Amino acid sequence: MSGDEKGASKGNKEPDRRGSEILHDPRFNKGTAFTDAERDALQIRGLLPPRVFTQKEQQTRVLENFRRKSSDLEKHIFMVALQDRNERLYYRTVIDNLAEMLPIIYTPTVGEACRLFGHIFRRPRGFYVSSADRGRVRQVLQNWPEKEVSIVVVTDGERILGLGDLGAHGMGIPIGKLALYTACAGVQPSLCLPVTLDVGTNNELLLADPLYTGLPQHRLRGPDYDSLVDEFLMAVHETFPGVLVQFEDFATENALRLLHRYRDRICTFNDDIQGTAAVVLAGLLSAGRITGRSLKDQKILFYGAGAAASGIASLIVSAMQSEGLSEEQSRGNCWFVDSKGLIVKSRADLAEHKKPYAHDYPFIADLLGSVQALRPTALIGVSAQQDSFTQAVLQAMSEINGQPIIFALSNPTSKSECTAQQAYAATDGRCVFAAGSPFDPVAYKGRTYVPGQANNSYIFPGLGLGVIAAGARNVTDSMIDAAARTLAATVTEESLARGLTYPPLASIREVSLDIAVAVARAAWQRGLATRPQPEDVMAYVRSLMYEPDYPSYA
């Protein structure tokens, strides 16, 4: 199948509607930008104000209204409404204003939108598979209006960001992720399918909420849960052959188990595990360029030991091995502190995914004691515990290292292990800092520090585009590693001099293009591609990228 047949469409096909119908179809609606000729051809003359506006002029109106909103949640609702009525104007506005828009359409604001999903619900978007659909998932899936899908993002809502079990209200996550696939990497919107598996919720507040949109029942567990997930995945691949499935915000046990079960059977990856790992590895590689310390010489202490931490450590171990260390030496550079203390061999309460990083070392009950004893060069927070990087912890890191690496990665902002201000102040401005959510620049002792953001949107959109470009059968560790190293390579010396470990968000489409090319090449090199490799890979991948400028319909 050629790229033009699947994945390469620019979305410029002629509308099959006329009159008021086209004004209510977000794929084709241009609102006041329809030209005089189009208004005649499409039978909409008189249905719009007579003046014809350009898309740029429409965007001015959008931004004026957007910036007038009194809260980030209201801004989020406003942008969702725009997406529902004029898809191209929505993406044009987001792409042209990425730094301003990403915190609104995704983290951290999407967390609040999910928490209140049933209360702000206006129009359905995405696809729901509930436990009541067992035995007929494929039949139900036929109701999705698009016949071609390249990427599915699916959640069961059990671990939404750092907010926990939000059940069916987690739908905001796959919707937001797929909006970023389009905005950041140009994946055609019609090829994106957001899915929520509604298997209930154990959140008693939601179960008591009369406006909760999901099934008001406790979570499905065990074989019944597994059979529904399996039926869904098989139905998706039968309906949309070759589709990439991205697991999103599953609880640790299911996230690790499902990834292990399916990663070699279908084209799939888990963004919380592998996407987070790639963006953190890229940040560490960039930080090493600032501090002058190679990756293999880093000693990394993780605060939090869930699926994300496990995935990060696994990729770091692999990367350290590529720099000449043994697996044992690489694991010896990765240490974990969970809610009960340092993870060591003497503990009898360790889950399976923690055991590979349980070292033969005396138990230490707290994070500060662990920092003082282990003397790590990098501290990575994936705990969803606000303010857990205390002033004492940050000062200890500063006393041990000339330029300590501090990554406070938990989302949303309310769950961050520390703020940028706290990190720079406690380390006298010497730390290399990045966070999972955006922080404003920090003025400290006459200097302005611009915090980096370890945002997965640097990785997964380009990864998905690369998978589509090559028609990859699986997503492998080599592809994840290629994505991470490509991201790190895009950070300029100028950015490093300012303490930044990631490129500017404004460049994310070009970054995603570079990552997609690297991922596609990895698929072709390892014989995992189902499409022939073109002579000019960069030009080919670029040709797949959706541009939201208005086409002519006259």
99 in Cβ contact with 506 (< 8 Å): yes
Question: What are the b/e assignments for 77-111, b being 16+ CB within 10 Å?
Answer: bbbbebbbebbbbbbbbbbebbeebbbbbbbbbbb
Q: How far apart are CA 501 and CA 288, in angstroms?
A: 9
Residue type, 437: S
Q: How far apart are CA 134 and CA 227, in angstroms?
A: 8
106 counts as catalytic:
yes
| Residues 198, 204, 205: CA angle, nearest 5 degrees | 100
Which member of 30, 177, 354, 415 is catalytic? 177
Q: How far apart are CA 191 and CA 395, in angstroms?
A: 48
In the structure encoding, which two tokens stand for residue 343, read together? 């993870």
Give the DSSP per-residue string, 432-481: EEEESS----EEETTEEE--EE--GGGTHHHHHHHHHHHT-S---HHHHH
Taking only Cα atoms into account, the Rg of the chain, rounded to an integer number of angstroms, comes to 24
- In which element (H, E) is residue 197 found? strand 192-198
391 in Cβ contact with 426 (< 8 Å): yes
166 in Cβ contact with 111 (< 8 Å): no
- Expressed in angstroms, the distance from the first to the final Cα of the chain is 30
Which member of 90, 91, 106, 502 is catalytic? 106
Residue whose entry in the numeric block shows the structure tokens 């515990």: 385
Helix residue spans in 292-384 (DSSP H): 307-322, 327-332, 367-374
Residue type, 102: L
Q: How far apart are CA 63 and CA 97, in angstroms?
A: 9
Residues tagged active-site: 106, 177
